[in-house]
Amino acid sequence: MWIPKSEEDITIAAGNGSLEESVIFDAKREIPPKNSETAKDVAALANTAGGVLLYGLDEDTGGRPTVLTPITLDGQRERIEQIIRTSIDEVPTFSVSTIPTKTDSSKGYLVLLVPPSERAPHMVVVKGEQRFYGRAETSNCVLSQAEVARLYERRRAVASNILPLLERAVEETPLLPDDQFAHLHIVARPVLRDDDILSKALSPQQSHPDLLRELVDKVNSSNVFRANYVPDIQHSSYGWKRKPEGYLSKLNYGSGNDNLSTGHVIHLQVNLDGSAYLFCGRAGENHRDGHPPKWFFSGIVAGNTTKLLALLGELYNRSSYFGMVDFAVAVTGLDGCVPYETRDRFHSLPRFEGSEYKKAIRASALTLLTNPKQAASELLMPLIESISQSTDNPFKEE
């Protein structure tokens, strides 16, 4: 899915004639004067495969979107948001951005991104209309009763909980529970299933392992989480092993001479359907001198979680999946943990009561691409604040 980020992106695409109106893209000279038209466009995209609406680009005599017609930007973003929130039931997920021209910042282009919705069908309700629309080739169409019924059935199907998948991952843990360590488990699964997400992200002549190595390298070069810790997902770039579901990378930092090194492992699996599993054997670890009983490493947990989410955000972006994604995290073996980050005064903090922590969230693929820390923080901060008594936040930039 093409999502313009700059005036240059639009100018080049319009100039070389590469843009074509399709099921997932529509260009318009301006925001239609009738709110109902905008509502139909947005609902149709949300009810079908999602897509991009670009305002400020007109058709040439051949019907192709090649004519640059920058619009006045003042108030237009707010207008679009108001139309969507008052004219569609229920309101779908969407994102609006503006791209000003270099010659006149008051004019430019408006980009409206509408992900495919797991909550479809969405009804247009402006001016007494109560109809469902979908996208067909280059135009909108009213959905049939059978199509609406299928969308309602899909909504019920995707409402299923991801926690059973997490439970199975914990039961099949790569390392058995060990009093010396706390373990981190994360599972992820796109809400709208597509068995070919990994393949759709491939560039020409690229293999799946090459893609995964590239994604890991890109995440680590982006400095999405600035901290040094072991083990780190950044070293999972090599040795991808083919599994029935996808590809698995294992990394062991152990020297073989240290009985604590057995927990210094990362297992990362990315599947063909865009689902993923991360295991880190060192979310917590007994101090080598036996005092205190167990340190909790918020930096290791937060860093690897953030990097996994950023990796998946880039994967989904390349495969043009912008729908919602389910995540669930479990940290096991937490009994008696105290925060490593506040080790100089750990005696003043209570030891964690309970053996495990679990939490599930649903986030948009776009959030993972633009702000993976936000989703990772939502997953983990209840645990980190509990262990540290709100004295530690590894997501806070120094």
Render pLDDT for 186-229 as a digit per residue (tens, 0 to 9): 999 999 989 999 999 999 999 999 999 999 999 988 889 987 78
Residue 160 pLDDT exceeds 80: no
Tokens 């994102």 label which residue? 95
- Note whether 299 and 268 are within 8 A (CB): no
Which amino acid, 163? L
Nearest to 365 by CA among 118, 157, 163: 118
What percent of the chain stands above pLDDT 70?
92
- Residue 50's pLDDT is 92
Q: Which pLDDT band, with edges at 50, 70 and 90, does 350 fall under?
A: confident
- Residue 322's pLDDT is 87
- Residue 233's pLDDT is 85
Render pLDDT for 52-90 as a digit per residue (tens, 0 to 9): 999 999 999 988 999 999 999 999 999 999 999 999 999
Q: First-to-last CA distance in the chain?
A: 35
Helix (H, G, I), strand (E, B) or coil at 304: helix
Enter the tokens of residue 268. Answer: 């990362």
Q: Which pLDDT band, with edges at 50, 70 and 90, does 158 fall under?
A: confident
Kindly list the distances between the CA atom of residue 198 and the CA atoms of 147, 206, 246, 315, 326, in Å, as whole numbers in the listed order.
28, 11, 9, 7, 17
Report the DSSP beta bridge partners of residue 51: 114
- Which of 155-159, 316-320, 367-371 is predicted with the least confidence, judged by mean pLDDT? 155-159
Helices (H), 16-159: 35-47, 76-87, 145-158
- Residue 342's pLDDT is 64
pTM for this prediction: 0.84
- Residue 351's pLDDT is 83
- Residue 312's pLDDT is 98
- Note whether 312 and 191 are within 8 A (CB): no
Query: In the predicted model, what is the mean pLDDT of the chain?
Result: 90
Give the alpha-carbon dihedral of 286, 292, 298, 300, to 10 degrees: -30
Q: Which pLDDT band, with edges at 50, 70 and 90, does 44 fall under?
A: very high
Residue 182 pLDDT exceeds 60: yes
The 10 Å Cβ neighbour count of residue 177 is: 13
Enter the tokens of residue 234. Answer: 């950044």
What percent of the chain stands above pLDDT 90?
72
- Residue 257's pLDDT is 45
Q: What angle do CA 312, 391, 222 make, to 5 degrees?
A: 30
Tokens 């529509």 label which residue? 26
Task: Enumerate domains of the chain plus CATH numbers.
Answer: 7-155 (3.30.950.30), 163-388 (no CATH)
